[in-house]
Structure 1
């Protein structure tokens, strides 16, 4: 899959260095897969939740962080919409949030 944009992850890691290894692992895994539908997303990440509007929520580092991405299966593109702590995630609407700087 193509991921737009890695800069979102880099910005979050600058503010939360403890997230780096887990986010890098997520990033490299997603770059190597070819998701066809929500079921294939769940095969890669069993804890991923579909929240509507083509968006999935991924638990990062044992649910310490959350990542929201919009997935276009037809273009094989993943658009990062949000990366944050669990507390920050609780304050947003996962179906509509756009990238917020940490």
Structure 2
């Protein structure tokens, strides 16, 4: 279980991660084929998944503002 105190601690462990805002980090997955956009509350030690998709799909979203949305398949 990670105990990150700040963005610098995340970057030390995940050097390819990108800090896109004060609370948003984008992780590269599977050799940068996929992206994981997260929001982090360091004080509460909580990480929220905001978006997961291919690198190509990531190029069409704004990692700073994207919010998780349930798909129609999720609601069945």
- TM-score in terms of structure 1 length: 0.66
Q: Structure 1 stretches of 5 or more lacking a match?
A: 1-31
Structure 2: runs of 5 or more not aligned: 72-76
Match of 2:63 in 1: 94
CA distance in 2, matches of 1:95, 1:46: 19
Deviation of 1:43 (Å): 1.4
Alpha-carbon RMSD across the aligned residues, in angstroms, is 1.3
Comparing both chains, which one has the higher relative contact order based on Cα–Cα distances under 8 Å and sequence gaps of 6 or more? 1
- Return the structure number with greater helix share: 1
Name which one, 1 or 2, has greater alpha-carbon Rg: 2
Deviation at 1:53, TM superposition (A): 4.3
Query: In the aligned structure 2, how far is the partner of 1:53 from the partner of 1:84?
Result: 22
TM-score if structure 2 supplies the norm length? Answer: 0.87
